[in-house]
Amino acid sequence: DTAVSQTPKYLVTQMGNDKSIKCEQNLGHDTMYWYKQDSKKFLKIMFSYNNKELIINETVPNRFSPKSPDKAHLNLHINSLELGDSAVYFCASSHSTEAFFGQGTRLTVV
């Protein structure tokens, strides 16, 4: 059973498009995150949701918006995609201790 699942795994899209990445966790965790991994493999947190409430919002462009329909899901919506948005995006969940990560979504903007 996959603990944290992301879809799609690969996403290629043109500049200016709007896209979404879905994330689901079946661990019953309270907190979910979105991370961006840049070309130098540096992982930076973008958003964190705890019990459906946004508690961290790093200085990311407002073209990025997290949406949590319920405790098990945290989707990432990206509007007006830019070339610099190309990266691998990881979803994660945790329950105050160990964090579990999804397999990542490789986004390529052309």
Choice between 3 and 15, CB closer to another protein = 3
Binding status of residue 96 toward another protein by CB under 8 A: yes
Q: 4 with 101: CB under 8 angstroms?
A: yes
Binding status of residue 53 toward another protein by CB under 8 A: no
Within residues 1-30, the interface with another protein by CB under 8 A covers: 4
CA distance 16 to 96: 37
Specify the stretch interacting with another protein by CB under 8 A; choose among 18-26, 64-72, 74-82, 102-110: 102-110
Given 90, 93, 107, 109, the residue binding another protein (CB under 8 A): 90
